[in-house]
């Protein structure tokens, strides 16, 4: 029974990934919001950023084969290739020198655009870290230290991106500032719950989420102001007194999201003879809080079902182990539900196929997970305390392993309960 549930849980995850296929998303977006023709002698610049960038660019080139620029910036390890166009790889989740070089390439293209040209931006999750473009006086190393501090503090994606926008020449409307007076058209695959376009890839084609003052307040409230490099603190303090500048308008079209993937999971569950119920399409906050919600649903459920969740939780780092938010969530559920006798399976996975700085997408656990860990000689609770969910799940054979999927619409979870 448990093996059958595990197989079905994986099929639901696969359905979520398929629904977020970036090529289909771009095709849908170009159909729903077609591009106007270029003016005489005008150029078309295709710039794709994010984990789904190569696939989005490939599809866009089918519709725009004569584009003057065709550039995709994606993460190291993405195996995608293009028949035409160029792929540049950069660091994620921590920005690196390759990303800084890619950012310079992108800024050069944008700055070259004229009023006759159009910039077509293809945006997906991960774009924020891939294009580090720090302002004058801030080094790439400083940006990396800032990113480390934001991740370790357990801030949600909107808070992190608000801060990042204030320390970047590309984020928070940077494409619009640099490309003006060219028209900008963006097709966006959302990895942000609620689909706030300002937060997806830190909003390069929309106005910023907040101000420098807001960024300072967030850093102070998270008690990491003093951990932020002095150059960034000085930049934010100087920027407090600068009034916001009105940005040129862009045409932004949302082409895919976490909710569409959850709907696909529900459809697949019905095909498999399960009774799906979407419990929460905004599962956010600390993994400990998310675990309590899921365990509560498990203990209250009295009939066979497939409970579905989607969102993006956060992890507060207290140790030096390896893992990610999906792996830690799965491990916490396994520990909390180890005494529940009815057959159950819980899957938590990132739709991009990567969870934190690991090669796993997440975890797939059941009522026997903790027993398998004990049999392997590991102390699951101790590993959890060290944020070492990867080691714990690996010992049980419960890592959710996929190749890079080429897309990203945040995380999905499935809790399957048998009679």
Task: For 168-221, write each residue's pLDDT tens digit.
Answer: 999 999 999 999 999 999 999 998 888 999 989 999 999 999 999 999 999 999
Place of tokens 């890079």: 404
Looking at residue 151, what is its pLDDT?
A: 83
End-to-end CA distance of the chain: 10
On whether both 34 and 151 belong to a single domain, the answer is yes
Cβ-Cβ contacts under 8 Å for 312 (sequence gap 6 or more): 156, 157, 191, 192, 193, 283, 284, 325, 410, 411
Same domain flag for 117 and 37:
yes
Does residue 62 sit in the same domain as residue 152? yes
Angle among Cα 287, 208, 103 to the nearest 5 degrees reads 90
The owner of tokens 């398929």 is 18
| Residue 223 binned pLDDT confidence (cut-offs 50, 70, 90) | very high
Domain co-membership, 90 together with 129: yes
pLDDT, tens only, 330-380:
999 999 998 887 899 999 999 989 999 999 999 999 999 999 999 999 999
The stretch 268-283 carries a mean pLDDT of 96
CA distance 170 to 173: 7
Average pLDDT, the chain: 93
Bridge-based pairing of strands 399-400 and 362-366 is antiparallel
269 and 189 part of one domain = no
Q: Give phi and psi for 301, each to the nearest 5.
A: -75, 130
Q: Are residues 141 and 237 in the same domain?
A: yes
> In the block, which residue shows the tokens 């197989």?
7
Residues facing 392 on adjacent strands: none
- Domain end (from 256, 284, 304): 256
**Is residue 419 scored above 80 in pLDDT?**
no
Instruction: Please report which confidence band the pLDDT of residue 158 belongs to, taking 50, 70 and 90 as the band edges.
Output: confident
Convert the pLDDT of each residue in 50-75 to its tens digit: 989 999 999 999 999 999 999 999 99
Give the pLDDT score at 327.
Answer: 98
Looking at 256, 271, 293, the residue that finishes a domain is 256
Q: Kindly state whether residues 353 and 232 are assigned to the same domain.
A: no
DSSP secondary structure of 47-60: EEESTTHHHHHHHH
Asked which of 256, 291, 325 is the last residue of a domain, the reply is 256
Phi/psi at 348 (5° precision): -135, 125
Report the CATH number at residue 237.
3.40.50.10180
Kindly state the average pLDDT of the residues 109-123: 96
- Print the domain residue range for 241: 22-256
Looking at residue 31, its pLDDT comes to 95
Statement to judge: residues 62 and 186 lie in one domain: yes
Q: What is the DSSP letter of 272?
A: T
> Is a pLDDT exceeding 90 seen at residue 103?
yes
Confidence at residue 407, expressed as pLDDT on a 0 to 100 scale: 86
Contacts of 208 (CB under 8 A, 6+ apart): 162, 165, 166, 171, 172, 173, 198, 244
Same domain, yes or no: 146 and 169: yes
Tens-place pLDDT, residues 282-316: 999 999 999 999 999 999 887 889 999 999 999 98
Assessment of whether the complete model's pTM goes beyond 0.95: no
pLDDT number for residue 235: 96
Contact 306, 338 (CB under 8 A): no
In this model, does residue 147 exceed pLDDT 90? Answer: no
Same domain, 136 and 252: yes
Contact, 106 vs 68, CB < 8 A?
no
Contacts of residue 325, defined as CB under 8 A and 6 or more positions apart, other chains included, come to 287, 312, 313, 314, 315, 355, 356, 411
Domain tally for the chain? 2
Measured distance CA(327)–CA(323) in Å, rounded: 6
Q: Specify whether 149 is located in the same domain as 296.
A: no
Strand bridging mode 305-314 / 276-286: parallel
For residue 1, pLDDT beyond 80: no
Residue 388: CATH number of its domain: 3.40.1480.10
In terms of domains, do 266 and 219 share one?
no
d(CA 231, CA 241): 17
Q: What are phi and psi of 371, to 5 degrees?
A: -65, -40
Contact between 295 and 333 under an 8 Å Cβ cutoff? The reply is yes
């Amino acid at each position: 029974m448990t093996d059958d549930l595990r197989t079905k849980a994986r099929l639901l995850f696969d359905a979520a990934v398929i629904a977020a296929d970036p090529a289909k998303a771009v095709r849908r977006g170009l159909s729903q919001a077609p591009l106007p023709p270029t003016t005489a002698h005008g150029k078309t610049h295709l710039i794709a950023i994010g984990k789904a960038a190569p696939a989005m660019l490939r599809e866009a080139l089918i519709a725009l084969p004569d584009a003057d620029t065709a550039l995709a910036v994606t993460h190291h390890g993405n195996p995608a290739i293009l028949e035409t166009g160029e792929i540049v790889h950069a660091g994620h989740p921590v920005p690196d020198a390759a990303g800084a070089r890619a950012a310079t390439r992108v800024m050069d293209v944008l700055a070259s655009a004229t009023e006759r040209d159009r910039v077509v931006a293809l945006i997906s999750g991960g774009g924020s870290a891939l294009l580090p473009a720090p302002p004058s006086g801030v080094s790439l190393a400083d940006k990396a230290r800032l990113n480390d501090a934001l991740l370790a503090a357990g801030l949600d994606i909107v808070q992190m991106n608000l801060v990042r926008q204030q320390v970047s020449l590309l984020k928070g409307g940077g494409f619009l500032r640099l490309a003006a007076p060219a028209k900008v058209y963006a097709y966006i695959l959302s990895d942000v719950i609620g689909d706030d376009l300002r937060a997806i890839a830190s909003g390069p084609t929309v106005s910023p989420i907040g101000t420098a003052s807001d960024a300072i307040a967030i850093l102070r409230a998270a008690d990491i102001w003093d951990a932020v490099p002095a150059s960034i603190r000085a930049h934010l303090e100087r920027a407090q007194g600068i009034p916001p500048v009105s940005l040129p308008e862009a045409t932004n079209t949302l082409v895919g999201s976490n909710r569409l993937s959850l709907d696909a999971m529900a459809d697949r569950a019905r095909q498999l003879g399960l009774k799906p119920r979407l419990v929460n399409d905004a599962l956010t906050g600390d993994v400990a809080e998310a675990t309590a919600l899921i365990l509560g649903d498990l203990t209250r459920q009295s009939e066979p079902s497939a409970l579905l969740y989607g969102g993006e939780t956060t992890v507060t780092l207290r140790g030096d182990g390896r893992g990610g938010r999906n792996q830690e969530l799965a491990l916490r559920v396994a520990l909390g539900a180890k005494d529940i006798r009815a057959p159950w399976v819980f899957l938590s996975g990132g739709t991009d196929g990567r969870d934190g700085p690991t090669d796993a997408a997440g975890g797939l656990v059941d009522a026997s997970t903790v027993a398998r860990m004990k049999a392997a000689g590991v102390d699951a609770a101790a590993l959890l305390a060290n944020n070492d969910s990867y080691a714990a799940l690996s010992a049980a054979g419960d890592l959710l392993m996929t190749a890079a999927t080429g897309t990203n619409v945040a995380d999905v979870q499935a809790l399957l309960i048998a009679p």
